[in-house]
């Protein structure tokens, strides 16, 4: 890959509400090797490859954001590790860690390919990963993911930890599916020295199921957990939307991401770039700026900076997620298209 150099930093990225943007979530593919029922339709139609940014374009646009003050870069998908050549991108982007311009290069993954790439990720400067595990019941996992193999994911997690990666487990709380397993899932994660974050289901994209049937407010989950454990709020932040507690009995850290019952938009420091080069300033809003056309029509980074500035100037104060019976998704795009 051709490395894009970082020159003297221009003005930092500050939105209309005074929030400094230091976190980019970069999707490298809309494809995934699982079909989680709350995330995707069973028969997804994926984007043609020509619509996706090339690895060189992904590197160039990431470098532009890093030059403007982004300090944390999370690679997402779909499932990022199914993108052909993705490790070349990790190796290229790792130079910014070496230069001291990037604090963290990380990824969110479903874990199916983690065992294969764990050591390479460490070599590229990745120090921690988020792995989605909604259940430790193999049958429920297979049903929820439409055919996924839990053993492969758990093996990938162990290989990642053996390679030196810190692993955080993410789980979407789903009524009637994993709601009474969540405490045991937390105990397993904490017992294995892994932090855990619970997430409310998000109304993105048309899926076959009615999300209201499985929507489980995390306020309700916390009440149940507090009947079993002592939860103490802690001020720690990791650059994302989660708010954390310490579980006294396990000693572990537990995060809550609550876009529906209690959003934390006032402190939002991030933007999302899709694999097609569409920059979304908010996960829950439709306004966006096309960076692909800029990347493909001009080699001048001044034009790219101007497009990024235009996007940041339009960043909304917050999202408008609502989930209710009889209402469709808040937005038609699937989470796999936006970047998980």
- Measured at the CA of 308, the angle between CA 304 and CA 313, to 5 degrees, comes to 150
Cβ count near 57 (within 10 Å): 16
Structural domains in the chain (count): 1
pLDDT of residue 283: 75
Strands 195-200 and 166-173: parallel
pTM of the complete model: 0.87
pLDDT along the chain (340 residues), means of 10: 60 93 96 91 89 98 97 97 98 97 98 98 98 98 97 98 98 96 98 96 58 86 97 84 94 89 71 96 84 95 96 82 46 52
What's the pLDDT at 140?
97
**Spatial separation of the C-alpha atoms in residues 63 and 112, rounded to whole Å:** 28
Query: Is 14 a domain residue?
Result: no
Question: Does a structural domain hold residue 8?
Answer: no
158 assigned to some structural domain: yes
Structure confidence by residue, pLDDT tens digits, 252-272: 999 999 876 555 667 788 999
| Structural domain boundaries, residue 169 | 23-338
pLDDT of residue 58: 98
In a domain, 80, yes or no: yes
Q: Can you give the CATH number for the domain in which 108 is found?
A: 3.20.20.70
| Structure confidence by residue, pLDDT tens digits, 267-286 | 788 999 999 999 999 876 77
Report pLDDT for 9.
Answer: 58
CB 214 within 8 A of CB 174: yes
Q: What is the model's pLDDT at position 272?
A: 95
Instruction: Report the DSSP pairing between strands 243-247 and 231-234.
Output: antiparallel
Contacting residues for 237 by C-beta, under 8 A, at least 6 apart: 244
């Amino acid at each position: 890959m051709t490395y894009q150099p970082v020159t003297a930093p221009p003005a930092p990225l500050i939105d209309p509400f005074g929030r400094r943007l230091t976190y980019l979530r970069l999707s490298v593919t809309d494809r995934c090797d699982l079909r989680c029922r709350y995330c995707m339709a069973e028969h997804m139609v994926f984007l043609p490859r020509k619509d996706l940014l090339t690895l060189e374009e992904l590197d160039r646009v990431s470098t532009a954001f890093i030059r403007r003050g982004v300090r944390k870069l999370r690679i997402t998908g779909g499932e990022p590790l199914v993108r052909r050549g993705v490790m070349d991108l990790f190796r290229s982007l790792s130079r910014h860690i070496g230069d001291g311009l990037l604090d963290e290069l990380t990824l969110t993954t479903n874990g199916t390919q983690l065992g294969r790439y764990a050591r390479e990720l460490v070599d590229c400067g990745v120090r921690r990963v988020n792995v989605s595990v909604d259940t430790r019941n193999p049958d429920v996992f297979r049903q929820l993911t439409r055919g996924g193999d839990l053993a492969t994911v758990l093996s990938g997690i162990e290989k990642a930890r053996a390679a030196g990666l810190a692993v955080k487990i993410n789980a979407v709380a789903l009524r009637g599916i994993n709601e009474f397993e969540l405490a045991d899932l937390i105990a397993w994660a904490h017992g294995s020295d892994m932090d855990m974050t619970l997430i409310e289901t998000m109304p993105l994209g048309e899926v076959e199921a009615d999300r209201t049937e499985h929507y489980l407010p995390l306020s309700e989950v916390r009440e149940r957990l507090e009947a079993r454990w002592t939860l103490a709020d802690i001020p720690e932040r990791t650059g994302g939307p989660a708010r954390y507690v310490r579980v006294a009995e396990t000693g572990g850290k537990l995060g809550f991401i609550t876009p529906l019952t209690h959003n934390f938009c006032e402190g939002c420091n991030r933007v999302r770039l899709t694999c097609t080069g569409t920059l979304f300033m908010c996960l829950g809003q439709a306004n966006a700026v096309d960076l692909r056309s800029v990347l493909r029509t001009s080699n001048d980074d001044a034009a790219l900076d101007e497009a990024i500035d235009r996007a940041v100037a339009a960043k909304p104060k917050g999202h408008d997620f609502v989930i209710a019976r009889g209402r469709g998704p808040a937005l038609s795009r699937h989470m796999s298209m936006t970047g998980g």
